[in-house]
Amino acid sequence: MNLSFERAKKPLTGILTVPGDKSLAHRALLFASIANGVSRIENYPDSGVTRSMRGALSSLGVESELSEDGVLTVKGNGFFPFPNKRAVAYCGNSATTIRLLAGTLAGLGSEATLDGSEGLRRRPMGRVADPLRSMGVDVSTTPDGTAPLVFGPKPASGLNALEYTLPVASAQVKSALILAALGANGESVITEPGPSRDHTERMLRAMGADIISDGLTVRVKPCKNLRAISGKLPGDISSASFLFVAAAIVPGSDITVCGIGLNPTRTGILDVLSMMGVRIDIFNEREEFGEKVGDVRLRSNDDLNGVEIAGDLVVRSIDEFPAIAVAGAFAKGETVVREAMELRYKESDRIAAIVNQLKALGADIEEFEDGFCIRGGTLKGGVARANGDHRLAMSMALAGLREEVVVEGAEILQESFPDFEKAVKSISV
C-alpha cells in the first residue's frame, strides 16, 4: 500500500485520542495469563503486535476474549507451566512478545518454542537467552543467537536467583529477567545502564509481587501468586508522537491528545519537541492503571530549532527517532542524535533506514555509527520505503504534510496504529 498526505494548507487543529498503549497492553495480557482469576482490561488496542501476543498465548493454551468495544478478558492460568506443553508459539513481528514470553516460560518452567517472522528472526535474542542460561534455564537459539528459542524442562533444583547488569538499557530484556526471577529460588538483582520504561515493575507490584526499584537497580523476590488486574489502559504516547510531530512541522498548529500515558520513562518526545521550540501544556493529570495519564496540548511556532540528543533522553524516546528525524528535517540548523546505537536493532536498522529514506526525499543527512545529523530545510520530497518498519512508514508519511511524499509498503503501519491515516486527516482538513 502507498500512503501520501496532501500538503497542509493551514495549521493542524483538533482534540483527539489514540489507541491504548501497546507496551502496557502486552504486559497486561501476559501478566493476567499467569495470575489467579479473571482479568478485565479496557481500551485494549487491536493491532498487529498485540495480536501477536494474544496469538502466541493462545497457542500455549491461554484463553482470552476481546469484545468489539475493546475490553479484553483473560483467564489466568496461575503461575504454572502453560497448558499446551511443547507448543510452538508464533510471535509475528513483535520483539516485546518473544522477549517477555521467553522470561515467562523460564519462570514457569514451560517447555515450548518461540518463533516469529523473518524480521523477528533477525533480531538479537542472546541478550535474553544468555542471562536466562546463567539462571540454569535450558534454552537454545540459533548459532547466531536468534529465534527460534526452544525451552527444555526446568532444572529439578529450580532456577538460580540472578545478579546481572544489562549491557544496554532495554525494558524488554529487563522485563524478561524480572519474569524469570519471579520463579527463581531467591532474590534477583537486575541493574541497567539507563532508565528504560518501568511498566513491568509497576504492574507486577500492583499484582502483589515484591519488586523494589532503587535508581537503575531492581530487586525481585520470587512470587508465584499474582492477583488478577482490571482497569483502563492509557493512550499510547508513542502513537501520539506521530500526531505531535505532524503538528510541530506545520506552523501555527494547535492540537490536544487526551488521555495519554505520561510515565516519565516514556516522555522523552515531549522534552525533545519542547527543546525544538513548540509549546507543550499538560492538563487533567491523573492516574490510570498505575500510570500517570494526562491530556497534552501542543502549539507550534513559525520555526523549529535543531537540537542535540544523547544519553538518557535517547532511552526515554527510543521509539520516536524516525519521527524526531522528520521534525529535524523541518527545523532551523542541525539536529544531531548520538549514543543511539540501539536503534540499529529495532524493526529495521533504524539509523540506516532513517538516513537512507530521508536521503531519498532529498534531505541532507549524515550517518554515524551511533546516530545521525540532519540539516533542516533540505528535504524536497519524493518516494520513501517503509522497509517493513511501521514507525518508519508513519514518520516518512508525515513529511508529506510539507513536501510531496509517497511512502511505499505503508501497510506495515497496521502493526501498531491501524487508524494512523484517519487520525492525521482528522487534524489536517
Which residue has the closest beta carbon to ligand S3P? 23
Q: Output 196 or 300, the one with its CB closest to ligand S3P.
A: 196
- To ligand S3P, the closest distance from the beta carbon of 319 in angstroms equals 5
Give whichever of 201 and 319 is closer to ligand S3P, judged by the CB atom: 319
Spatial separation of the C-alpha atoms in residues 423 and 418, rounded to whole Å? 10
Give, as ranges, the residues between 341 and 360 that touch ligand S3P (CB under 6 A). none
Binding segment for ligand S3P (CB under 6 A), chosen from 155-163, 170-178, 240-248, 331-339, is 170-178
CA dist 175 and 173 (Å) reads 5
Which C-beta is closer to ligand S3P: that of 196 or that of 395?
196
Measured CA to CA, the distance from residue 361 to residue 380 in angstroms comes to: 6
Neighbours of 159 (CB within 10 A): 23
Q: Is 415 in the site for ligand S3P (CB under 6 A)?
A: no
Q: Decide: 38 and 226 in contact? Cβ < 8 Å.
A: no
CB of 291 to ligand S3P, least distance (A): 13
3-state secondary structure of 51: helix
Q: How far is the CB of 344 from ligand S3P (least distance, A)?
A: 12
Residue 170 sits in the site that holds ligand S3P (CB under 6 A): yes
Active-site residue, selected from the candidate residues 21, 295, 319, 389? 319
CB nearer to ligand S3P: pick between 47 and 96: 96
Nearer to ligand S3P, 237 or 365 (CB): 237
Residues 6+ apart with CB under 8 A from 343: 318, 321, 349, 350, 351, 354, 371
Nearer to ligand S3P, 68 or 215 (CB): 215
Site for ligand S3P in 23-42 (CB under 6 A): 23, 26
The packing angle between helices 237-248 and 321-329, to 10°, is 0
Q: Is 317 in the site for ligand S3P (CB under 6 A)?
A: no
For position 318 contacting ligand S3P by CB under 6 A, the verdict is yes
428 binds ligand S3P (CB under 6 A): no
Using CB under 6 A as the binding rule, whether residue 198 contacts ligand S3P is answered as no
Which of 39, 64, 196, 263: binder of ligand S3P (CB under 6 A)?
196
Quick check: 172 binds ligand S3P (CB under 6 A)? yes
Q: HSE (CB half, 13 Å, CA atoms) of 242?
A: 33
Radius of gyration of the chain (CA): 21
**Can 319 be counted among the known catalytic residues?**
yes
Strands in 182-290 per DSSP E: 188-191, 211-214, 217-220, 230-232, 254-261, 279-288
Tell me if 93 contacts ligand S3P by CB under 6 A. Answer: no
Provide the minimum distance between the beta carbon of 282 and ligand S3P in the complex, in angstroms, as a whole number: 23
Q: Helix 126-134 crosses helix 171-182 at what angle (to 10 degrees)?
A: 30
The least CB distance from residue 99 to ligand S3P, in Å, is 7
96 touches ligand S3P (CB under 6 A): yes
3-state class (DSSP) for residue 200: helix
Residue 388, sorted as left (phi over 0), alpha (psi -120 to 50) or beta, turns out to be left
CB of 167 to ligand S3P, least distance (A): 12
The single-letter code of the amino acid at 211 is I
Q: Please say whether the beta carbons of 424 and 396 come within 8 A.
A: no
Binding site for ligand S3P (CB under 6 A): 23, 26, 96, 170-172, 175, 196-197, 318-319
| Residues labelled catalytic | 319
